[in-house]
Chain A
Amino acid sequence: MADLTLPAALRDVEAVRSVRTPARLDYRYTPGTATSRFLHAIEQKRIMGERCPVCRKVYVPPRGACPTDGVPTEEQVELPHTGTVTSFCVVNLQFYGQGMEIPYVSANILLDGSHLPIMHLIQEVQADKVRTGMRVEAVWVPDEEMGPTLESIKWFRPTGEPDVQVDIPGEDHGTGLGSWVGGSPPEDPRAAQTHGGDA
């Protein structure tokens, strides 16, 4: 840093080193068509996923697009309120804006009939008893508190059913996507168009 010559009047006063610049911006969000449909169903205590017309997979909450095929997902599929824990973590830290008692469990839960886990809380069980493969069900807030929001599902709790085999991409590892099985690099399915296929 080069030396800075100051006017005499500023040499002997305490220099300002920081400044607070408060900023407030107001945004008025709209949820989008697919999310609106989902939230209206939630208010009625129904969990509605949407099926991709190409790969037939069911996404919940739906975002309006199949992330694999890039097409709208419009076919509505009502899902049961049960699912399987595919993975989880035990949280021992109070987060900004969160009012949870610690420790608590945040889990990836694959709802039956859907293909991508949602993240939600597991309660009504000791944190150290939660397992991958555990069967769980949604617990709803009291009827008077129900609204078009995901918080209408208060948390999930164990159903007591036996654990099941978790089957998510990569789980079997032998053909896990992204692994270098047998030391050979994965084939790029898009290699044809990335190496001047048309030229």
Chain B
Amino acid sequence: MVIEYPFSRTTGPVIGAFLTGLRERMLVGSRGSDGRVHVPPVESDPLTGEAVSEIVEVGPAGEVTTWAWVNVPHAKHPLDRPFAWALIRLDGADTPMLHVVDAGSIDAMRTGLRVEPRWNDETEGSITDLACFVPVADGEDA
């Protein structure tokens, strides 16, 4: 028995801005009432609950704040070879976002690693437009 449905989700302006950014190969976050920038953008201010009013560009590079190494990917995972899940704090952001890092080997992964996005050839406005993050070639760790 398979439960399968191509859910079609309307995004509203804030998530829509994030996904529009992805389509344009650009990363954005929301600025909260305390000035902190959250990526992906949140629709309401974490402190006051009021609607957010400002979307700002971040990244594209950032640093890994924590990570987990998957040796045997699941068929549903974004990558079909060993990879890392990571929380990545993009430059200009205060809070990290979840994505994957194609680092080749666990030995190449570490907290503080500088990474940058690798985009799909075609982008359509989806989190999966970001194929993955990869280590910055000659990046200096934060």
Residues of A within 8 A of B (CB): 1-7, 9-10, 13-29
Docked-complex contact B4 and A21, CB < 8 angstroms: no
- Beyond A1-B51, A4-B54, A22-B6, 20 additional contacts (C-beta under 8 Å) are A1-B13, A2-B53, A3-B53, A5-B54, A6-B17, A7-B55, A9-B24, A10-B17, A13-B20, A13-B24, A15-B13, A15-B20, A17-B10, A18-B9, A21-B6, A22-B5, A22-B7, A23-B3, A26-B2, A27-B2
Docked-complex contact A24 and B2, CB < 8 angstroms: yes
Q: Is B105 positioned at the interface, with any CB of A under 8 Å from its CB?
A: no
Q: Which residue of A lies closest to B18 (CB)?
A: A16
| Interface size classification for chain B | 20 to 34
Q: Is B46 positioned at the interface, with any CB of A under 8 Å from its CB?
A: no
Docked-complex contact B19 and A7, CB < 8 angstroms: no
Docked-complex contact A17 and B24, CB < 8 angstroms: no
A-B contact count (CB 8 A): 93
What residues on B are CB-neighbors of A7 within 8 Å?
21, 26, 28, 55-57
CA distance A5 to B53 in the complex (A): 6
Answer whether A26 and B1 are a contact pair too, CB < 8 Å, given A13-B24, A17-B11: yes
Docked-complex contact A4 and B14, CB < 8 angstroms: yes
Docked-complex contact B16 and A15, CB < 8 angstroms: yes
Docked-complex contact B21 and A10, CB < 8 angstroms: yes
Given B1, B7, B56, B125, which contacts A16 in the complex, CB threshold below 8 Å?
Answer: B125
What residues on A are CB-neighbors of B54 within 8 Å?
4-5
What residues on B are CB-neighbors of A6 within 8 Å?
17, 55
Docked-complex contact A20 and B14, CB < 8 angstroms: no
What residues on A are CB-neighbors of B8 within 8 Å?
18-20
Closest Cβ–Cβ distance, residue A31 to chain B (whole Å): 12
Given A2, A10, A28, which contacts B51 in the complex, CB threshold below 8 Å?
Answer: A2
Residues of B within 8 A of A (CB): 1-11, 13-14, 16-17, 19-21, 23-24, 26, 28, 50-57, 125-126
What residues on A are CB-neighbors of B21 within 8 Å?
7, 10
Docked-complex contact A10 and B7, CB < 8 angstroms: no
Given A19, A23, A26, A28, which contacts B11 in the complex, CB threshold below 8 Å?
Answer: A19
Q: Which residue of B lies closest to A25 (CB)?
A: B3
Q: Which residue of A lies closest to B41 (CB)?
A: A4
> Could you list some 24 contacts between A and B, CB below 8 A?
A3-B53, A4-B13, A4-B55, A5-B54, A7-B57, A10-B20, A10-B26, A15-B17, A16-B19, A17-B10, A19-B19, A19-B126, A20-B9, A21-B9, A22-B4, A22-B5, A22-B6, A23-B5, A23-B7, A24-B4, A25-B3, A26-B3, A27-B1, A27-B3
Docked-complex contact A16 and B11, CB < 8 angstroms: yes
Given B20, B50, B57, which contacts A2 in the complex, CB threshold below 8 Å?
Answer: B50
What residues on A are CB-neighbors of B19 within 8 Å?
16, 19
Docked-complex contact A20 and B7, CB < 8 angstroms: yes
Answer whether A10 and B50 are a contact pair too, CB < 8 Å, given A4-B17, A15-B13: no
